[in-house]
C-alpha cells in the first residue's frame, strides 16, 4: 500500500506545496522542521514554509535548538472518519496537535497505522479497536481528533549523513 499510495499522492491543493517539500521522497513518513524550543521532554517543531509550530513529545535523542531535524511524527487517533471534502490541516497551528485532517498516503497493517498527509505526514495509530488499517485505503480523506502525547522521533544519523 505504501509505494502505491506514495506514487498516487500528488496533492495539488493551494498552499500545500511548501509543506509538501519537507517530506522525504524515499520515506513518506518523514518530516523536516526546525527545533524552536526544547523543554523537559517536549520540543516545538517549526515547519518551514508554514506557520505551524507543533509541540511534540521527544522520542530518542534531544535535538539542538535552531537545528533542522528530520524525523517521524506519531499520534494516537481517536475515531477516524472518512470525509468527502475538505483541506489538509493540523489544529491548532501553535501547540500540541488536537485535530488532524488529510489524505491517507500509506498504511502499515502489521502496526495497525495509517500515514496521513496533513500539513506534514503523521503516522497515526488507531485507539478504537474496531478500526483497522485494512478498512482504509490510500487516497481517502480522513479527519480525527488526536489524544494528548503526539511524539517526534528524530531520524537516526549515520556517519554518511551526519
Cell of 147: 489524544
Q: Over its length of 162 residues, how does the chain's per-residue pLDDT go in tens digits? A: 433 333 333 333 333 333 334 445 578 899 999 999 999 999 999 999 999 999 999 999 999 999 999 999 999 999 999 999 999 999 999 999 999 999 999 999 999 999 999 999 999 999 999 999 999 999 999 999 999 999 999 997 544 444
CA angle 144, 77, 140 (to 5 degrees): 55
**Domain chopping of the chain, boundaries:** 2-154
Minimal CA–CA distance to 90: which of 39, 18, 19, 5?
19
Cell of 90: 493540523
The three-state (H, E, C) secondary structure of 47-112, written as one string: CCCCCCEEEEEECCCCCCCCCEEEEEEEEEECCCEEECCCCCEEECCEECCCEEEEEEEEEECCCC
Which positions ≥6 away from 82 have C-beta within 8 Å?
Answer: 136, 140, 141, 142
**pTM over the 0.85 mark:** no
CB atoms within 10 A of CB 112: 15
pLDDT of residue 25: 53
Cell of 140: 481517502
pLDDT of residue 19: 37
Residue 138 phi, psi (nearest 5):
-60, 140
Site of grid cell 497515526: 124
The DSSP call for residue 67 is -
pLDDT of residue 30: 95
pLDDT of residue 27: 84
- CA gap 42, 62 in Å, rounded: 9
pLDDT of residue 116: 98
139: helix, strand or coil? coil
- CA gap 37, 14 in Å, rounded: 29
Site of grid cell 527545533: 35
Amino acid at each position: 500500500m505504501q509505494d502505491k499510495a506514495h506514487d498516487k499522492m500528488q496533492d495539488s491543493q493551494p498552499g500545500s506545496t511548501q509543506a509538501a517539500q519537507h517530506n522525504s521522497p524515499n520515506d513518506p513518513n518523514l518530516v523536516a522542521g526546525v527545533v524552536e524550543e526544547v523543554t523537559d521532554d517536549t520540543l516545538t517543531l517549526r515547519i518551514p514554509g508554514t506557520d505551524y509550530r507543533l509541540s511534540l513529545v521527544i522520542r530518542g535523542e534531544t535535538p539542538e535548538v535552531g537545528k533542522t531535524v528530520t524525523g517521524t511524527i506519531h499520534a494516537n487517533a481517536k475515531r477516524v472518519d472518512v470525509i468527502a471534502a475538505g483541506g489538509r490541516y493540523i489544529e491548532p497551528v501553535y501547540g500540541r496537535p488536537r485535530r488532524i485532517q488529510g489524505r491517507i498516503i500509506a498504511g502499515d497493517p502489521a502496526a495497525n497505522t495509517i500515514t496521513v498527509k496533513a500539513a506534514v505526514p503523521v503516522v497515526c495509530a488507531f485507539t478504537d479497536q474496531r478500526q483497522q488499517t485494512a478498512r482504509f485505503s490510500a487516497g481517502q480523506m480522513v479527519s480525527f481528533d488526536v489524544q494528548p502525547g503526539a511524539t517526534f522521533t528524530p531520524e537516526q544519523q549515520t556517519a554518511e549523513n551526519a
